[in-house]
Structure 1
Amino acid sequence: MLAVMPHRSYDQYCAVARALDAVGERWSLLVVRELLHGPRRYTDLHADLPGVSTDVLAARLKQLQGDGLVERRQLERPASGMVYTLTPRGLALREVVEALAVWGRDDLGDPRPTDAVRRHWFTEGGRLPADPES
């Protein structure tokens, strides 16, 4: 079992509070957003999450693993290395991330001079690819 530092909890018997216990930390849902596009190496995640420190990214990945939303696995040959991927429970966050994209789209406006932009962040109507592994 993966040792994970305990994270903050709202300590409320409420489904929204429990969901936020798992994905409410800063960067957590953005890590999920990246993994909804398919398995990713740590270095690729770090490159596509500008502004996140390596310590925070590592902590979020460990937390998401501990909560059963993300798993780390070895790539099959001929590729090598480790990748992070969403578990079925993590993939169930697709509708949440898509709903946030639709909800936030009206306030997006023009990019600010300091905004990072990645092409894969833009999807039709906030929808992400249906099956990134196919």
Structure 2
Amino acid sequence: MVARRSYGSYNDGCAAAHALDLIGDRWTMIVVRELLLGPKRFADLQRDVLGIGPGILTRRLHELTTHGVAVRRRLPGPGRVEVYELTAWGLRLETINSTLSAWAVQSPTMPFEADMSPDTLVLAMRTHARPLPAGPGPLTASLTLTDSRQETVDPVHYRAIMTSDATTIERVPEPARADATITASTRDWKACVIGGTPLSQLPGITITGDRGTAELLITATAL
């Protein structure tokens, strides 16, 4: 097999060109995107990145680990489960992902009707996250999302903390105690935080606890 030439081999010393050598191939940034909120197994990535074949995924993960963007490690405990996760340097690609998203959302051909994976939707929320107006102490929301593209898979859990300084959202292994607990499909939650559909028109979204906190999470993260 003939080795793929890099931009550097054409005497192009531009750092942006080198970045494209590292992450510019088809599927690479999509795989990175699915690792931004935490490690995943190979099977998890193949499930979440619809359309990618196992051979391509293997090659992209090999390239990412070879270039120091990601690592493969074995989790402690029984089962010898191996996961892929981004390095500290690789995690800095969230800024690139957010900037690309903010740029592309202005595209006249943006497929707003298409579904998103749970992590992708939460990354969009993080891109647009804003602090709350000055007021009471931190508010917390537990968000559980079911992937509308493949509803037989397990739901994914997140925890949001909202203050007058910042709004943060992280993936967590199980629902966390919070002021408000929200359960939704990715299709309904996307309609709410990206499409602007009011909660009252989305009966599939269930909220327990303080509904006002859920409304504030939407206000703090909506497109």
- Name the TM tier (shorter chain): 0.7 to 0.9
Q: Which residue of 2 aligns with 1:23?
A: 23
Q: Which residue of 2 aligns with 1:73?
A: 73
* Aligned-residue offset at 1:78: 5.1
1:9 aligns with 2:6: yes
**How many equivalent residue pairs?**
127
What CA deviation, in whole Å up to 9, does each residue of 1:11-31 have, x standing for no partner? 311011001010001111111
Root-mean-square deviation over aligned CA pairs: 2.6
* Aligned-residue offset at 1:131: 5.9
1:124 aligns with 2:125: yes
Structure 1, unaligned stretches of length 5 or more?
Answer: none
Q: Which residue of 2 aligns with 1:47?
A: 47
Tell me which protein shows more strand as a share of its residues: 2
Q: 1:90-109 counterparts in 2 under 5 A?
A: 90-107=90-107, 108-109=110-111
TM norm structure 1 = 0.81
Q: Which has the higher contact order (CA 8 A, sep 6+)?
A: 1
CA distance in 2 between partners of 1:85 and 1:68 (Å) = 11
Q: Which residue of 2 aligns with 1:61?
A: 61
Residue type of the alignment partner of 1:47: R
* Aligned-residue offset at 1:80: 3.9
From 98, 110, 125, the counterpart of 2:112: 110
Counterpart contact for 1:8–1:21, Cα < 8 Å: no
* Aligned-residue offset at 1:101: 1.4
Going from structure 1 to structure 2, the CA distance change for 1:110 and 1:97 (only over 3 Å counts) comes to closer
Counterpart contact for 1:27–1:60, Cα < 8 Å: yes
CA distance in 2 between partners of 1:6 and 1:66 (Å) = 15
Counterpart contact for 1:102–1:125, Cα < 8 Å: no
CA distance in 1 between partners of 2:111 and 2:52 (Å) = 23
Going from structure 1 to structure 2, the CA distance change for 1:104 and 1:116 (only over 3 Å counts) comes to same
CA distance in 1 between partners of 2:127 and 2:42 (Å) = 25
Counterpart contact for 1:73–1:82, Cα < 8 Å: yes
Going from structure 1 to structure 2, the CA distance change for 1:10 and 1:84 (only over 3 Å counts) comes to same
* Aligned-residue offset at 1:76: 1.3
Residue type of the alignment partner of 1:119: P
Residue type of the alignment partner of 2:60: R
What CA deviation, in whole Å up to 9, does each residue of 1:70-100 have, x standing for no partner? 1000011256400000011111111001111
Residue type of the alignment partner of 2:18: R
* Aligned-residue offset at 1:133: 7.7
CA distance in 2 between partners of 1:105 and 1:79 (Å) = 42
Counterpart contact for 2:126–2:169, Cα < 8 Å: no
